[in-house]
Amino acid sequence: MAGSFKIGMKNLKYAIITENAGVETWGTPKTLAPAISGKVSPIVNSATAFADDQPLAVANAFAGCEVELETSLLSNTALVDLLGATKDATKGVVSFGKNDVAPNVALLFECALDGGITQYFALLKGQFALPEDQYNTKEDNITFNGQTIKGTFIPCNKNGAWKTQIRSDATETGTAATITAWYTTVYTG
């Protein structure tokens, strides 16, 4: 659709990936946090070959994808799941340690487009880093602060795909079933 624009992001979910001998298994998606904003930035390395004083060929290579999400505050469950932190089961305290290892996860969300169309996305394999927090003193005016978390996503081992997406206006026979299952099973292709 020419001239379409994205007007909303919502339903942020994540699914933990387990890997055994290079074979990935995606867990059931869980809610991450309400979305405020998000940015998905593919990283593409480019090189140009020159010969006879002019460009001869251009090569591009996908090098991953950087993700930056601003959300409402992440739950303790999401912090533990996404960052490898630990939680004291009897006291509820979350501890962050120098040896924490963030697991690979998939990230799922949807975006409203103009014309009542919804586009669903899944970034298939990546890790998140510790979130940024900002704190302000109480003032006369009300200020809402979200939490920013960044991650890097790469192609999955299964088929080399790094992202899947579908639009609600797709006309293929399996579209409705795929959209219905989008947040229950990670579609990997």
Provide the pLDDT for residue 54: 87
Instruction: Give residue 177's region: left, alpha or beta (phi > 0; psi -120 to 50).
Output: alpha
Looking at this protein, which amino acid is placed at residue 13?
A: K
Helix (H, G, I), strand (E, B) or coil at 177: helix
Q: What share of the chain is helix, strand, coil (3-state, %, to 5)?
A: 10, 50, 40
Each residue's pLDDT tens digit in the chain (189 positions)? 444 456 678 999 999 999 999 899 999 999 999 998 888 988 888 888 888 888 888 888 888 899 999 888 888 899 999 999 999 989 989 999 999 999 999 999 999 988 889 999 999 999 999 887 666 677 776 666 678 899 999 999 999 999 999 999 998 999 999 999 999 999 998
Instruction: Give residue 84's region: left, alpha or beta (phi > 0; psi -120 to 50).
Output: left
Interatomic CA distance for residues 163 and 108, integer angstroms = 10
Interatomic CA distance for residues 125 and 141, integer angstroms = 40
As given in the structure block, the two tokens for residue 119 are: 């586009």
Helix (H, G, I), strand (E, B) or coil at 76: helix
Interatomic CA distance for residues 164 and 54, integer angstroms = 37
As given in the structure block, the two tokens for residue 12 are: 């942020």
| Cα 47–chain centre separation | 28
Looking at this protein, which amino acid is placed at residue 185?
A: T
Looking at this protein, which amino acid is placed at residue 89?
A: A
Provide the pLDDT for residue 3: 46
Provide the pLDDT for residue 97: 92
Helix (H, G, I), strand (E, B) or coil at 114: helix
The contacts of residue 123 (CB under 8 Å, 6+ apart) are 40, 65, 67, 106, 107, 108, 153, 162, 163
Q: Which helix (H) or strand (E) holds 82?
A: helix 76-83
Provide the pLDDT for residue 143: 63
- pTM value is 0.85
